[in-house]
Every structure is written in C-alpha cells, then in structure tokens.
Amino acid sequence: MTSLAERHQRFHDLHQSGCFVIPNPWDIGSARMMAASGAVALATTSAGFAFTLGRPDMGRITREEALRHAEDLVRATALPVSGDFENGFADAPDDVAETVRLAAEVSLSGCSIEDTQMVEGNPAYDFGLAVERIRAAADAARALGRPFILCARADGVMNGVYGLDEAIRRIRAFEKAGADLVYVPVPPGAEELKRVVQSVSTPVNALAAGPLRRLTVAQIADIGVRRISLGSMIARVTHAAIAEQMEAIVNDGSFAKLSAAASGDRINEMLAAGARETDHE
C-alpha cells in the first residue's frame, strides 16, 4: 500500500528528471480510469470540474468546492494529485499562501497558481504583485515540512494579454521567488516552447493543447519539458462525444454512433483497477 508521504515524495521525484504526462480527471470515475490506464500522477482541472457542475470555465468554482473536489480525487486512487487552483482563489499574497496551506491539508502533493485575475477579460496581475503572490505561496509550501510542488503559471500568452517575452520575464521571476515548476500555456509552437525551457533552470510544464497537440510525448520531452499536462482536453473530448451522440439521435434519429461505446465490463474492470490500495487512506 502507498502512504500519503510516499505519494508526496514520488510526486516530487517525478519532477527531478525525465518527462511524464499528468492527466486531469474531473471526477472519481475518470480518475480511476486514468490510474488504471497507467498514469503516474493526476491533476485536477478547474474547467472539467466546472462542467460537471453545469458551470462555464474560469472563476466559477469556489475555493471550498475546489478543495472538496481535490480531496475526493486524492481518495479515489493511490496516485499523487496536484490541484489546478486558478489564481489561488484570491488576489492578496497572504490569501494565496492560505490556499497552499489548505491544499496541503487535503493531502494534495502540489498545486498551480496563475497570474491571471478571475474577472472579465482575464487581465494579468501587475508584475510585482504576480511575483509576490508566488513568493508567498512558495514560502507556505516550504513551511509544510514535506514535499509539495508549487507550479507558477504565466497565462498571459494564452489569454492574449502579453507576449512571450513578458511570459519569460515572469517565469524567471517566479523561479527566483521559489516556484518548483513553471508553466506558460500555450506558446505558439515548438520553438517558442524551447525558448521557455531554455530561459529557466526550474522544471517546465507544457500543456498538450493548441499547436503542441501535433507533437508526441517524445518530441516534447526532447525539448526539455519535465511535465506534460492535459488540462481540460480529455474532459472536452468527452463532452464532444456527448454533443455528437445527441446530435445524431435528436437530429438524425440514428443510434448508430452508439456502437463506439465502451463495454460495461471494461469500464468496471478499469474502475476497480484504478481504486486499488486506497481503502486505508
């Protein structure tokens, strides 16, 4: 059986060399299926979780809801789990630090904090405040006395509010502020991702979305990326299947597309396999 301490250490160790993929489940069932499929760690997805509550993405989930959801996923499998915690559910550095402490209390092995404000247009925090928020989060993580991977995100490229040069300026500052991992979603392509990796000595996370979906795990690893996350992509694929199936049934009167469904036996087997060794937690 795997203890929580072993999970936290394993998650820390995964970031020290090589490259691994961290998929993002949105409920207990998807977490267990991902674990059964060979995932070595999991991360929550704020968008995917919001969809399960019938809400749109970006800033519609409270800190309390995110923490309860994260705790469910920690208990769902024997894998380490990181939390997608948007802007830390707060603007002030001290409140972001409190989010990190609460994340540790629900046994997360890490979390990510964005430099994006959860308001219309998703503007970035001013540079100085963005860095202070990460410094406060890093200080809180170090005070835990156990491994906790703090991922600092520079989201302005993805949101169209600043360019790659500013993103690199920010992740360099986040590195100095104590972040364990930095993340610029989604650079325009492989060359820009290479610039991101070469600009810091801290491990880099990349998102398998946009232009980077054309690359393989091996190609992204060759660039020097340490961790590849999937964000809400698998959740969106699942929702695309719902939309496609219902369109065929309602508009065409056809059930033919249902032939692509996985068997109940296969799903049951994966749910059971993904849940192994978790009853003691």
Q: State both tokens at 4.
A: 């929580």
The CA distance from 64 to 74, in Å, is 15
Look at residue 119 in the predicted model and tell me its pLDDT: 83
Residue carrying structure tokens 């500052």: 173
Amino acid sitting at position 151: C
Residue 278 has pLDDT above 80, yes or no: no
> What percent of the chain lies above the pLDDT cut of 70?
97
Burial of 200 (0-12, 13-18, 19+ CB in 10 A): middle
Task: Enumerate domains of the chain plus CATH numbers.
Answer: 4-274 (3.20.20.60)
The CA distance from 57 to 37, in Å, is 27
62-103 pLDDT, tens digit each: 999 999 999 999 999 999 999 999 999 999 999 999 999 999
Overall residue count recorded for the chain in this entry: 281
The pLDDT-based confidence of 276 (bands split at 50, 70, 90) is confident
Amino acid sitting at position 183: Y
Quick check: helix, strand or coil at residue 111? strand
Residue 120 has pLDDT above 90, yes or no: no
Is the whole-model pTM more than 0.85? yes
Nearest residue to 123 via CA among 131, 132, 115: 115
The pLDDT-based confidence of 281 (bands split at 50, 70, 90) is very low
Q: How are strands ordered across the β-sheet holding 227-229?
A: 20-22, 227-229, 204-207, 181-183, 149-153, 110-114, 81-84, 42-43
